[in-house]
Structure 1
């Protein structure tokens, strides 16, 4: 889908500077499409970054390595340039996650975009602990874009669209900030929002059915979700509250797979269940197995952040 320019009214732009870290893989090329989509929609400036990986004891890159990657950087930057979308590029040598976060600070990026295979054992792709470290250290939200194995083999991915945004929330400050961000993206692009809350197994009875206390908890959560949904609808955004039970990572993924979701937005410092949702096994499940991009972080900056949290009790 062709990116349409977002209408922001008097609100400041949500995204003004994008840092795109690429390793020139098929997954990075897929992520590049999302960079182009968002840059066109928000008229955001783009910095393209390639890190020549150098770890302690590792082989030092050669002049030929630098020349070849520099040429490929030129190609990426050329593809991303559009009217009103300035694009620059950088090549650095070092540890990828540290360099990415340093460049994000230097360029004052408000969004980092990374491509991921969603598998382990592949080099130069920012997987596993590297992706988690970027998310932990990044000064801004991080959009991870996974190219499904089937699409990678076929050399094509799903057409870019942002019509359905899912936001897992537990009503912590971090998850509500993520919700503010997700609602703003949805409003800018004319998308709908799903508020997704996971009731963990401890909320069930021993026989895995709702007991009296668990049912009261579910009703309280439903009331809070309705409050948030009413506030979001008042902003002109279509919204659907959803409550599911189970292990958070699995339940989030089950919903994503069953709902034709285009984007998941989540905070990384929620309470238990959604707490540190991009770490450990949850990271492997959500970031590596989600069929759609995942936008996560612990720093979401949106004009008016806190309004939803203040209105939902």
Structure 2
């Protein structure tokens, strides 16, 4: 990880994202770019004032996080999501960090919050930050599918260099055919657990460089409730999940597990948008 871009709104809540980005960058001596977006109609004075605040935030971050590479700041005019995604591409960002949106209205429900819309539109993984960076991410919870669906979230979780334990959790919904095939609830639980363990082994095959401990757990229920249960048991610092990037009307009609988790779970979340056509089942994927 060499470059981290922060969608910075320069409010006290937005500073959480800046601090977490710098905390992550410190472990890699990575560069950090703070991006603040103003309306297209913003006047020169407003842009200049915003640039002054952004530069000051960058200077403060550089002082508090001396192991970070270069901390820079820019103010852009335009639509927030488009501007952030364009800058992330131009900057060749390895990660985008954005603050979570505390209050939702009907527009957020239809189109998603800024963080969610960036998550669906951006190429790099997106970290949604809810809490202050009081320490590095040590215990990472990865929401995975069985089969090929395990690879993306697990590989993303392995990029968290500070992690010492990854909990690979698969949510499955018991159904009649599955229960009959497995010979009851206990048999189905055992079958799902074995399939998950195989998927984890396959996804991490050849990774002799990994020192992190990976623990697999198949849990019955819908993805959100399963992640809540897993969070209560494992007490991780970060949730990693993959998203199929649904938005707008498709988001309402089809839904998105990643969006649902952002809405309902008060955790920091690292989200990777899956390429179109990526295979995933209907349980933990979104």
**TM-score when normalising by structure 1:** 0.72
Answering whether residue 35 of structure 2 is matched by residue 49 of structure 1, we say yes
User: Helix, strand or coil: the match of 1:143?
Assistant: strand
Q: Is the 8 A contact 2:147 2:196 kept in 1?
A: no
The aligned residue for residue 221 of structure 2 is 246
**Partner residue of 2:166 out of 193, 213, 217:** 193
5 Å-filtered alignment, 1:88-107, equals: 88-107=72-91
5 Å-filtered alignment, 1:129-168, equals: 129-147=113-131, 157=132, 159-168=134-143
Q: Is the 8 A contact 2:163 2:212 kept in 1?
A: yes
Q: Is the 8 A contact 1:135 1:296 kept in 2?
A: yes
Of 65-74 and 229-238, deviating more is 229-238
Q: Per-residue displacement from partner, 1:116-138 (whole Å, max 9, x unpaired)?
A: 13431499xxx924333312221
Moved over 6 A (4+): none
5 Å-filtered alignment, 1:222-233, equals: 222-228=193-199
Q: Is the 8 A contact 1:101 1:138 kept in 2?
A: yes
Q: Tell me by how many angstroms 1:79 deviates.
A: 2.1
Q: What is the distance in 2 between the residues matched to 1:172 and 1:108? A: 31
Q: Per-residue displacement from partner, 1:6-31 (whole Å, max 9, x unpaired)?
A: xxxxxxxxx11100111112221111
Q: Per-residue displacement from partner, 1:216-273 (whole Å, max 9, x unpaired)?
A: 5533321133235557696332122111111212322332244321111111139xxx
Q: What is the distance in 2 between the residues matched to 1:221 and 1:78? A: 50
User: Helix, strand or coil: the match of 2:159?
Assistant: helix
**Partner residue of 2:58 out of 62, 70, 77:** 77
Q: What is the distance in 2 between the residues matched to 1:104 and 1:31? A: 16
Q: Per-residue displacement from partner, 1:179-228 (whole Å, max 9, x unpaired)?
A: 1121232xx3242010100012xx2349xx95554655533321133235
**Gapped runs of 5+ residues in structure 2?**
246-250, 276-286
5 Å-filtered alignment, 1:254-265, equals: 254-265=229-240
**Partner residue of 1:285 out of 238, 252, 260:** 260
User: Helix, strand or coil: the match of 1:43?
Assistant: coil
**TM-score when normalising by structure 2:** 0.78
Q: What is the distance in 2 between the residues matched to 1:258 and 1:84? A: 34
